[in-house]
Amino acid sequence: MFCKILLVFCLSFSCYISDANAGSSECLPRRTKYGLVCVCTATHCDYLENPQPNDNEVVVVSSSKEGLRFAVSNLRFGENSTITKSNPLGSSAEEKEEFKNAAVIVDSGQTFAQLLLNTTKILTSRLTSNGPLELQVDRAVEYQKITGFGGAVTGTVSYLLELLDQQLQDHIFKSYYHKDGLGFNLLRTPIGGCDFDMAPWAYNEEPRDDPKLSNFTKLDPHDELKVAHLKRLKSVSNLDDLKIMAAAWSPPPWMKSNGVWSGFGVLKTEYYQAWADYHLRFIELMDAKNMPIWAISTGNEPLNGIAFFFFVHFMSLGWIPKNQAIWLNDFLGPTIRNSKYKDVLIFGNDDQRFSFPTWFNRMNSTRPGVLNYLDGFAVHWYWDEVFAPSLMDLTLKQMPDKLLLNTESCIGDKPWQTHGPELGSWERGEQYAVDFYII
């Protein structure tokens, strides 16, 4: 969640950040029906040297719909600047693109991150305006600390990576997770299968009715492949501290009231402890592979198995706040906190904004004090255009000691949207940026 402020600031300047390396290289342009993209191959990928501002400066890295790619310019605090950059990837070699940036800073001693955080209205209006940008900093106002930036590794990601040679895989890993690239440090991965897998699956599908999880003694080949990819990611990205968050979509069907992967189904009460042990077992097995789990959640989108089963046909497990409070307070919380892995963070809800803060208030009314087991809240973005960000403000006002992470967002989930990538789509980038900034 916290990283997204930077993305919007960049977009306000038509900016995208690419992987950094020892040197820069030219973009290999390709036009698609949605826009212009730079092609990355095993032997060539466009990189950007990591520009560093001098004292009293802001470095702006700009891209445009028509072809500017990572054009670097420097702005000085207290000065109005107009910069003209050539647009070599535009419709003609002679085409120029002029853009104006103004920086009027009240306190130039403020850090760059703090400077960005004080510009909500200005940056939002900047998305639809070509006027100058005025930044004013109030040192007395403090905001959240940044937990990190991240992406996801699912079964589909592993499948697609295996279709590429090692050089291309390395480009992908470095572009996202190298400290000179996007610098991601968070990663979400499913426990078992998810809707971004080739088929539904879970640990200990057989034997059935087995609360001791006797067949859950090693990682499944699906996860062995993920671990291999994550080890390579950490190696080529020089990343030691990869914060992995794990979340389960569904237990094996024999634990569920409906006995199938999706539909209206909840966890059978006789398996409450087994489902808690299931999470701990995954943490143990990942740690044995030198892939420690930083955090887990109480389960992906619990309302899918209760309220939205007519529309959701992928793996799910339904919860209502009352039952989830009992499971967290009496089973999952004690199981994790009384184990070797007591410091693993637990995030609650992992669902849409419209369930905040009511979900947690109802949990607490069932088991007073249950929220003490939660280190933070996980939220998804899919109906944010309908439900206001004030719901998140209210949640954090009630429980200011909790972390807040946006753990899932993608485009193409609605029936009227393209189900898949739109390579070069500026509009999709703007949707991400605007939504992330106003979370």
- pLDDT tier, 83 (very low <50, low <70, confident <90, very high otherwise): low
The span from the CA of 293 to the CA of 230, in Å, is 12
pLDDT > 60? residue 264: yes
Summarize pLDDT for 85-127 with one digit per residue, the tens.
555 554 443 344 443 433 333 333 444 343 343 444 444 444 4
Dihedral of the alpha carbons of 331, 336, 340, 345, in degrees to the nearest 10:
180
Q: Is 322 helix (H, G, I), strand (E, B) or coil?
A: helix
pTM, two decimal places: 0.83
Pairwise pLDDT comparison (79 vs 218), residue with the higher score: 218
Pairwise pLDDT comparison (332 vs 98), residue with the higher score: 332
The span from the CA of 136 to the CA of 129, in Å, is 18
CB 100 within 8 A of CB 132: yes
Q: Mean pLDDT over residues 325-341, rounded?
A: 98
Please, what is the average pLDDT of the chain? Answer: 82
pLDDT at 437: 64
pLDDT at 197: 96
Pairwise pLDDT comparison (388 vs 137), residue with the higher score: 388
The backbone region for 67, taken as left when phi is positive above 0, alpha when psi lies in -120 to 50, beta otherwise, is left
Lowest mean pLDDT among 59-68, 193-202, 208-217: 59-68
Summarize pLDDT for 121-178 with one digit per residue, the tens.
444 444 445 566 666 778 788 877 888 989 999 999 999 999 999 999 999 999 899 8
Distances from the Cα of 122 to the Cαs of 133, 277, 389, in angstroms?
Answer: 7, 49, 18
- In sequence order, the 6+-apart residues with CB closer than 8 A to the CB of 360 are 321, 348, 349, 371, 374, 377, 395, 398, 399
pLDDT > 90? residue 344: yes
pLDDT at 88: 52
Largest interatomic CA distance in the chain: 72
Q: Mean pLDDT over residues 350-360, rounded?
A: 96
The span from the CA of 256 to the CA of 192, in Å, is 15
Question: Pairing mode, if any, of strands 403-408 and 376-380?
Answer: parallel
Q: Torsions phi, psi of 172, nearest 5? A: -65, -50
Which residues are registered as beta bridge partners of 30? Answer: 37
Instruction: Say which DSSP state 328 is in.
Output: I
Q: Is 167 helix (H, G, I), strand (E, B) or coil?
A: helix
Provide, rounded to the nearest whole percent, the portion of the chain with pLDDT above 70: 81
pLDDT at 81: 66
The span from the CA of 33 to the CA of 316, in Å, is 35
The span from the CA of 211 to the CA of 326, in Å, is 18
Which of 41-50, 70-79, 335-344, 420-429 has the highest average model confidence (pLDDT)? Answer: 335-344
Q: Is 330 helix (H, G, I), strand (E, B) or coil?
A: helix
pLDDT at 131: 61
pLDDT at 295: 98
The span from the CA of 379 to the CA of 439, in Å, is 9
150-408 CATH, one of 3.40.50.620, 3.40.50.2300, 3.20.20.80, 2.40.50.140: 3.20.20.80
Give which of 50, 47, 112 is closest to 75, Cα–Cα: 112
Place of tokens 């849409």: 352
pLDDT > 60? residue 220: yes
CB 100 within 8 A of CB 75: no
Instruction: Say which DSSP state 256 is in.
Output: B
Q: Where are the domains of the chain?
A: 150-408
* DSSP result, 347-396: EEEEEEGGGTTHHHHHHHHHSTTGGGG-SEEEEE-TTTTTS-THHHHHHH
Tokens of 208: 């059935």
How many CB atoms within 10 Å of residue 226? 25
Lowest mean pLDDT among 99-108, 204-213, 227-236: 99-108
Pairwise pLDDT comparison (161 vs 415), residue with the higher score: 161
CA 149 to chain centre: 7
